[in-house]
Amino acid sequence: MNKARMKTLNDSLGKIGDGISFGQPWAETEILCGYGYHHSNDPFALSYLEEEIFEPLHNTVPVSGVQTLLELAFGVSGNITIPTLYTAHGIGLPDDPTVPTYLVPENSDTLGSATPRPAIYQPGHLVQLFGIGITGPGENNVSVRKVGYRETDIEMQVITKDGPLDGIMLPFRFTESELDPNERQKYFGKKVDSETGKTGYYLKRFESLPEIKHIWRSKDIQSGSHVSDVEATNDTIWDQTRDDAFESVVEMHIEISESDVKEYFTYKMDQPEAARFNTLALYTGRYSEAGKPADQQYGDYTNVRLFSKLAIPTEPVSLSKDLQFIYRIYGS
């Protein structure tokens, strides 16, 4: 009996090399890209785009993101070192190893006391940033490659069936001038380019705080087709006799503005007409004002690591309008 139960558990998780792919810690992800973002204030309705420029995509949460989730959930460190953007590329603030402690009731030398244990992360270490780049030549959008589980960066060489592809991370802004106060609330991950002296801003905040929603997916009894979405409330969620599909989703809104990326292709690459990207990634990190000069309005982010990575059809950024993404993570 115990062996049978253990085998069932192992099969559901998957094993390396047995042909079973590892499941994500959630049901699925969905990323929409296009123009004309509309935010839904209804707690059971999702935001939408007026125009979607390609079919919804699904991202990969590689080992860096999975280890972070497990560390946050269980309070223990993983046994591999995930590089930060600062250690790998000098982007953002130097890594900050300081963490608070919390009490646990173990190994106590004094009756009635507890032992302090160091936390893995400081408060405020969240999934709250994104970055973009180009993997391979990025000259067409015929095919979209699958991101590998061991990819921990945008700027890295990835191995595909057609051979190795080099990736580069692109700065959203690339300028000698200080950004205005509104822009400085969005752009972070600063790095000074040694050749041009311009400052690149490689990370960008979400347009708004993520939103968590719980939704009943009601179906027609006879046809079985989806008919409506109904908000899940404390009065209905615990009704175990209800058999409608139930979903939980966190929804994020991110934006690539019409001015993003173009400065880099103009002043660094001397190819303003070639501004494009085909890779998007979410990052964890914590905002800090350590070492902030007195004349600067904001600090930057520290301990920034890749959380998830998405390959998209190559998208030019030559149009004079903002490109919108709706990024959803589902549990069900």
The structural domains of the chain, with segments of one domain joined by +, span: 24-79+112-211+249-331
pLDDT in tens, the chain (332 residues): 444 433 333 333 223 333 334 455 666 788 999 999 999 887 667 899 999 998 888 888 999 999 999 999 999 999 999 999 999 999 999 999 999 999 988 865 656 678 889 999 999 999 999 999 999 876 665 567 889 999 999 999 998 888 899 999 999 999 999 899 899 999 999 999 999 999 999 999 999 999 998 888 776 555 555 556 777 778 888 888 887 888 888 999 999 999 999 999 999 999 998 999 999 999 999 999 998 988 888 999 999 999 999 999 888 887 778 999 999 988 86
Question: What b-and-e string marks burial along 47-60, b requiring 16 or more CB atoms within 10 Å of the CB?
Answer: bebeeeeeeebebb
pTM, full prediction: 0.87
Q: How far apart are the first and last CA of the chain?
A: 29
Question: How do residues 169-199 score in pLDDT, each as one tens digit?
Answer: 999 999 999 899 899 999 999 999 999 999 9
Q: Are 154 and 135 in contact (CB under 8 A)?
A: yes
Q: How far apart are CA 173 and CA 270, in angstroms?
A: 15
In Å, what is the CA distance from 31 to each residue of 34, 56, 67, 308, 313?
10, 5, 22, 12, 13
Residue 103 · residue 116 · CB < 8 Å: yes
Question: What is the length of the chain?
Answer: 332
3-class DSSP assignment, residue 259: coil
Hey, is 64 helix, strand or coil? helix
- Indicate the DSSP class of residue 47: -
Strands 173-175, 187-192: pairing is unpaired
DSSP state of 57: B
Q: What is the DSSP letter of 255?
A: E
